[in-house]
Amino acid sequence: MDTTTYIPVAVDQILVPHHMFNKAKDRIENHLLAAQSYQEPICIAVIGDSRAGKSRLLEYISKKYSKVRTADGVIIPMISIKTPAKPTVKGLVEIMLREIGDPLWFKRGSETEKTEQLYILLKQAQTHTLIIDEFQHFYDKVSHKVQHYLSDWLKNFVDRTGLMIIVAGLPDCMAVINQNEQLRGRFLAPIHMPRFVWGTAEQCEEFMDCLESFQLGLSRYDFPELGSEEVAFRFFCATGGLIGYIAKILYIACLNAQMANTQIITMHDLAKAYEEAVWMDEVTPMMNPFSEDFDASPVEYLLEMAKQVGTACPEVSKPRATRSRKSDLPSAASVLAA
């Protein structure tokens, strides 16, 4: 069989509309409709852990508002950008200019000049919504300070354009909104996208439903029963209830199957995919949940370990080197007197 025939891109194309995804989607879509007649600009934040599905949600929303070419020009109803690791106002403006199609976005010009050009193009393109992903980069983790110049610029941008603003990021990004009184006044209550928990029967059932959706979307492969309670709990321990990690493990499993020229994926194959897909260290020292020796009983220890999946390893603070102070050194007089 030609291995290029079954490239496992299907994992990336599978949309699992679980309860929290649908709830967040419906709320955003309602505000998008309301924003067309509401006078005040609407701002809303989508908050959640990494791999909780925030970017997938925004991708789904933005695809429904793709650009349209007309006789009068291109209409771009929605622009979606990602905040760079060390954002500046000029850098953000240039990213927006690039996304809106300005061929001269990289040319020289002051921050003010480029911002004014952006305002003109947004109006011409009839843009009504701006999505800013990775919004936590507005918060400097090193100095533990909000970049207030950026947040002030965003507040002025909202007022000037009247665009609906959707920001998404890790929980840290709430500090950006909370520490700017004027910006906070423009935001609605945030949308939270939490990870799944293995606690209530309802949560467990929904997690199993998600796995069944993946298995249905990957029907070309012969998996174990992913939606069974035992296999689902193994996936929960492997992913910490984060939907993005499920997709990573299944992607690697499908890729390995393709390279091995087979469509059968066993528990052993899932164990191998887990080792290749999920970053493990001292933060989550859990036995491979897909191994034969793993006890798939939902004990408290495993539930606590699962909560650590996807979290950052704490920084190790190195002791600062101390210099000898002059007062600790013998004086010239005392040396001569000795």
Rounded distance between C-alpha atoms, residue 135 and residue 112, angstroms: 22
Beta-carbon count within 10 A of 199 CB: 11
**SS3 for 327?**
helix
Rounded distance between C-alpha atoms, residue 303 and residue 293, angstroms: 18
C-beta separation of 220 from 253 below 8 A: no
- The alpha carbon dihedral of 310, 314, 315, 318 has a sign of negative
Rounded distance between C-alpha atoms, residue 222 and residue 75, angstroms: 44
pTM of the model: 0.81
DSSP 8-state code for residue 212: H
C-beta separation of 257 from 221 below 8 A: yes
β-strands 129-133, 164-169 pairing: parallel
**SS3 for 336?**
helix
Angle CA 304–305–311, to nearest 5: 105
Tell me what pLDDT residue 278 has: 83
Instruction: Please name every residue paired with 70 in a beta bridge, in sequence order, or none if there are none.
Output: 73
Tell me what pLDDT residue 144 has: 64
Tell me what pLDDT residue 80 has: 95
Rounded distance between C-alpha atoms, residue 311 and residue 309, angstroms: 6
Rounded distance between C-alpha atoms, residue 298 and residue 236, angstroms: 10
Amino acid (one-letter) located at 128: H
Distances (CA, A) of 81 to 134, 213, 214, 233, 267: 9, 29, 28, 36, 39
Tell me what pLDDT residue 70 has: 87
Each residue's pLDDT expressed in tens, for the chain with a length of 338 residues: 454 455 555 777 788 878 888 999 999 999 998 887 777 889 999 999 888 889 889 999 999 898 898 888 899 999 999 999 889 999 999 999 999 999 999 888 999 999 999 999 999 999 999 999 999 998 877 666 778 889 899 999 999 999 999 999 998 888 888 888 888 888 999 999 989 999 888 889 999 999 999 999 999 999 999 999 999 999 999 999 999 999 999 999 999 999 999 999 999 999 999 999 887 665 556 789 999 999 999 899 899 888 888 776 555 555 555 554 544 555 545 544 54
> Can you list the domains of the chain with their CATH numbers?
35-192 (3.40.50.300), 197-306 (no CATH)
Rounded distance between C-alpha atoms, residue 57 and residue 60, angstroms: 5
Tell me what pLDDT residue 3 has: 47
Residue 321 host element (H or E): none
